[in-house]
Chains A and B, each alone.
Chain A
Amino acid sequence: MDILLQLLQVALFMAAAPLITGVIRKGKALVQHRRGASILQPYYDLIKLMHKEKTVPVHTGWIYRTAPLIYLGSALVAAALAPGVRGNHQFLFDDVLVFIYALAIGRFFLGLATIDATSTFTGMGSSRDFFIGMMAEPVLVFVLMASCLLSGKGTSFQAAMNGTEGIAVLPSALLFLSAWVMITLAETARIPVDDPSTHLELTMVHEAMTLEYSGRHMAAVSMAAWVKQMTFLSVAASLFMPFGSSAANGMPAAVLVMAGKFVVLTLLVFIIEINTVKLRIFSIPNLITFAFLLTLLGYLAGMIRI
């Protein structure tokens, strides 16, 4: 039963993740006085990519071919662990460290594949991605661990969720949320860190990594990136916006509240996206430092409360 719920969550994430991207793109287009593509465009893109022929560079080996699947798999594992609406159901492998390392495996293999593709730009992209990831990951660990520590019940998402239930830790939740949003922007290649819509090789990070991929490989990589983004938003929604997420009023109500939080978070990402410019790559450490300090403060604020 619990496993079914977990699988249902993964399916739901796969179904809804492209929509979030579509909505953000549409909103951006409207702000720029363009009509923009339909919010369903990411789905059409996926279907198109599934039907297209895939081209593989000559000198590549098995890593290049399996990496997209591993990347997608890692994102799906993360989605399976994400603390969505779960009530009191125990999820398999429910641990924040599994979540973090699942994402790390995906990043590692995509990085390997970019080197395997022997293109200059992909290598450059992965070098930047690792540079950002190297700084963002400790903060990621710290935010999740701090919320687990404040709950005092172990390192599972369940514990963190139970710990943040109720309004008692609101100040630290606010700080964690701000830090988490920054980390989300860094990890999912959104605008202050990376511009997802650019195709200028000198500035792009995530897009540069996927430059050589086409056809079904590209579909897997895009899907993984979207699912990863939704997973990050879901962690923000259920851990750091601690209200209404308990299943006390029944699952349907909780799911509705969750959907509302997703709308709010998508709007937040969208507002940041239209209001900021892309940072220079060497200014990104400032952003991450900021996120780290916010987490530290959130933790201290939580300690004062206890």
Chain B
Amino acid sequence: MSDIFALLSMGMLLTTFILVANKRTMSYIRTFRIQALLLAAVLMAEGVTLTAENHVFSGVMLLAVLTVIVKAWYIPRNLSKISRRAEQHVEKEFFVNVPMALLISTGILVLVGLVLSRVEGLKDSADILYMTCSLGVMLMGMFFMVNRKRAVGQMTGFLVMENGLFLAAFLMTHGMPMMVEIGLLLDLVTSVVVMGSLAYRIHDTFESLNMDRLRRLRG
């Protein structure tokens, strides 16, 4: 069972790497979708295990379905709607270029691995692997968000970060209370709706989703 989790969390890490290396908006929204499906697969695997062990229907399976609906269908659909508005579908400006971004992400991951291998309470090597993967996804998502200049990229980065956080919480606790999880998903939907409308406003004002145009708002 732990091998399936290891494989899936490694897969999420891999998709994050693909995201960091990706320049095309539509392509990285698709990659985000695959990542969400992998996350749902983690939830589903846990749900099936719990149901089989306790012979009681586990809410985690329901959560997996909800994740598919929200993260693999609703949010990517919204993102691609926003990005279809903007004419440019290839991001050309980054703060650091792609090979450098990949190197930095690897650096982040190595750092996470090193730090986690020194944490006192974390003895099980499987746990270290899960934590490295999920914290890696989180921090690389953050880096992705910082590295992009356009609104859609930054939103995707934020969502990837949230995926990593969700994975970390889930793999460590094997399921938080149902209400908390559903609340998290609701928060996410709200934030995407708010960010989406903001992105529309930005696009209407500046005819572009490039955040560099927001000169007066920056501190």
Asked whether A7 is an interface residue with its Cβ less than 8 Å from the other chain, the reply is: no
**Can you name 27 A-B pairs with beta carbons within 8 Å?**
A170-B10, A171-B6, A174-B7, A174-B14, A175-B14, A178-B14, A285-B99, A286-B21, A286-B99, A289-B98, A289-B102, A290-B17, A293-B103, A293-B106, A294-B17, A296-B106, A297-B13, A297-B106, A297-B109, A300-B109, A300-B113, A301-B129, A301-B132, A304-B117, A304-B125, A304-B128, A304-B129
Asked whether B175 is an interface residue with its Cβ less than 8 Å from the other chain, the reply is: no
Interface size on A, residues (CB 8 A): 18
| Size range of the chain B interface in the assembly | 20 to 34
**A178-B102 Cα distance, complex, nearest whole Å:** 15
B125 and A305 within 8 A (CB): yes
Asked whether A248 is an interface residue with its Cβ less than 8 Å from the other chain, the reply is: no
Chain A min CB distance to B93 (Å): 16
A171-B10, A178-B14, A304-B117 are contacts. A290–B21 as well, Cβ < 8 Å? yes
Asked whether B110 is an interface residue with its Cβ less than 8 Å from the other chain, the reply is: yes
Render B154-173 as a binary contact track against A, CB cut-off 8 A, 1 for contact: 00000000000000000000
A304 and B132 within 8 A (CB): yes
Asked whether A202 is an interface residue with its Cβ less than 8 Å from the other chain, the reply is: no
Central interface residue in A289, A296, A297, by most chain B CB within 10 Å: A297
Asked whether A200 is an interface residue with its Cβ less than 8 Å from the other chain, the reply is: no
Contact surface of A with B, Cβ cutoff 8 Å: 167, 170-171, 174-175, 178, 285-286, 289-290, 293-294, 296-297, 300-301, 304-305
A178-B14, A285-B99 are contacts. A170–B125 as well, Cβ < 8 Å? no
**Chain A residues whose CB sits within 8 angstroms of the CB of B117 once the complex forms:** 304
**Chain A residues whose CB sits within 8 angstroms of the CB of B128 once the complex forms:** 304
**A286-B21 Cα distance, complex, nearest whole Å:** 8
Overall SS of chain A's interface: helix
List 8 additional contacts besides A285-B99, A293-B102, A293-B103; criterion CB under 8 Å: A171-B7, A174-B7, A175-B14, A289-B103, A293-B17, A297-B109, A301-B10, A304-B128
B98 and A286 within 8 A (CB): yes
Measured CB to CB, the nearest residue on chain B to A296 is B106
**A285-B98 Cα distance, complex, nearest whole Å:** 10
Chain B min CB distance to A150 (Å): 14
Measured CB to CB, the nearest residue on chain B to A167 is B3
**A289-B102 Cα distance, complex, nearest whole Å:** 8
Indicate which residue in B11, B103, B110, B113 contacts A174 across the interface (CB closer than 8 Å): B11
**A201-B125 Cα distance, complex, nearest whole Å:** 52
Central interface residue in B11, B102, B110, by most chain A CB within 10 Å: B102
Chain A min CB distance to B152 (Å): 21
A178-B14, A293-B106, A296-B106 are contacts. A170–B99 as well, Cβ < 8 Å? no
**Chain A residues whose CB sits within 8 angstroms of the CB of B21 once the complex forms:** 286, 290
Chain B min CB distance to A36 (Å): 28
